[in-house]
Amino acid sequence: MEQRRPRIWATLHPFFESGDIMGRKVANSGFLRALFQADPYDAYHFFLPDYNSCASMSQILRERFPDAWRRNKVEVMPVAFLPRHIKATPYHCFHLSDCVRQFAHLCRLRNFMAPECFPITGTTHTLSYARYSADFLGHVWTGTTARDAVAATSAAGQAVMRAYYRRLREAFGLGPEFREPRVVCIPLGTDMPDPERLLAQRAGMRAKLELERDERMLLTLGRFSHSSKMDLLPLLRAVKLAASESFACAGRPEEDSVASAVRASGWKDAASGLNRPIDLSAVRLVLAGWTDAGDDVPDTLARFAQNLGIRCTIVKRPDDDAREGLYAAADMFISPADNVQETFGLTLLEAGAAMLPAIAADWSGYRDIVRHGETGFLIPTIGPADTSRTDVLAHIFYDNQTHLALAQETVVQIPALALAVRALVHDSGLRAAMGRAAFERVKRLFSWPGVIAQYVALWDGLWSFPVEREMFRDVTHPLHFSYARVFSGHPAQVLQKDMLVRISALGQALYRGKEAPAFYGGIEERLEPQAIRRILVRAMKPVSIGRLRDIFGPGPEEDGDCIVLWLLKQGYLETVSR
Q: Return the exposure string of 326-348: e unless at least 16 CB atoms fall within 10 Å of the residue's CB, then b.
A: bbbbbbbbbbbbbbbbbbbbbbb
Q: CA geometry: angle at 180 spanning 177 and 185, to 5°?
A: 150
* CA–CA gap between residue 204 and residue 436 (Å, rounded): 22
Q: Give the mean pLDDT of 526-531.
A: 88
Q: CA geometry: angle at 51 spanning 47 and 56, to 5°?
A: 85
Are 123 and 13 spatial neighbours (Cβ–Cβ below 8 Å)? Answer: no
CA-to-CA separations, 439 to 110, 246, 350, in angstroms, rounded = 42, 36, 9
Model confidence over 131-149: pLDDT tens digits?
Answer: 999 999 999 999 999 999 9
CA-to-CA separations, 91 to 44, 87, 305, 356, 473, in angstroms, rounded = 10, 10, 55, 42, 17
**6: pLDDT strictly greater than 60:** yes
Sheet holding 543-544, edge to edge: 543-544, 500-503, 573-576
pLDDT at 195: 87
**356: pLDDT strictly greater than 50:** yes
Helix (H, G, I), strand (E, B) or coil at 312: strand
* CA–CA gap between residue 75 and residue 58 (Å, rounded): 8
Please give the full DSSP string across 489-558, using - where no structure is assigned: TSSS----TT-EEEE-HHHHHHHTTSS-----TTTGGG--HHHHHHHHHHTTS-EEHHHHHGGG-SS-TH
Are 443 and 357 spatial neighbours (Cβ–Cβ below 8 Å)? Answer: no
Proportion of the chain in helix, strand, coil states, percent, rounded to 5: 45, 15, 40
pLDDT at 1: 45
Q: Whose CA is closest to 376, among 340, 328, 421, 318?
A: 421
Share of the chain above pLDDT 70, in %: 99
**123: pLDDT strictly greater than 70:** yes
Q: Other C-beta atoms within 10 Å of 452: how many?
A: 22
Q: Does domain 195-443 have CATH number 3.40.50.2000?
A: yes
Cross-strand pairs, 500: 544, 576
Model confidence over 406-434: pLDDT tens digits?
Answer: 999 999 999 999 999 999 999 999 999 99
Model confidence over 357-391: pLDDT tens digits?
Answer: 999 999 999 999 999 999 999 999 999 999 999 99
pLDDT at 18: 78
Q: Return the exposure string of 28-52: e unless at least 16 CB atoms fall within 10 Å of the residue's CB, then b.
A: bbbbbbbbbeeeebebbbbbbeeee
Are 469 and 148 spatial neighbours (Cβ–Cβ below 8 Å)? Answer: no
pLDDT at 524: 79
**71: pLDDT strictly greater than 60:** yes
* CA–CA gap between residue 500 and residue 130 (Å, rounded): 51
pLDDT at 43: 98
What residue spans define the domains of the chain? 8-189+454-473, 195-443, 487-576
Q: Whose CA is closest to 121, among 476, 452, 548, 527?
A: 452
| Average pLDDT taken over every residue of the chain | 94
C-alpha dihedral, 562 to 563 to 564 to 565, nearest 10° = 50
CB under 8 Å to 86, separation ≥6 — which residues?
109, 110, 113, 114
Q: Strand 312-316 vs strand 283-289: parallel, antiparallel, or unpaired?
A: parallel
Greatest pairwise CA separation for the chain in angstroms: 101
pLDDT at 131: 95
Are 573 and 505 spatial neighbours (Cβ–Cβ below 8 Å)? Answer: no
pLDDT band at residue 36 under the 50/70/90 scheme: very high
- Would the CATH topology of 8-189+454-473 be identical to that of 487-576? no
Q: Give the mean pLDDT of 508-530.
A: 87
Residue-level length of the chain: 578
pLDDT band at residue 3 under the 50/70/90 scheme: low
pLDDT band at residue 169 under the 50/70/90 scheme: very high
Q: Which fold has domain 8-189+454-473?
A: Rossmann fold (3.40.50)
Q: Which fold has domain 487-576?
A: Arc Repressor Mutant, subunit A (1.10.10)
pLDDT at 250: 78
Please give the full DSSP string across 131-164, using - where no structure is assigned: THHHHHHTTSBTT--TTEEEEESSHHHHHHHHHH
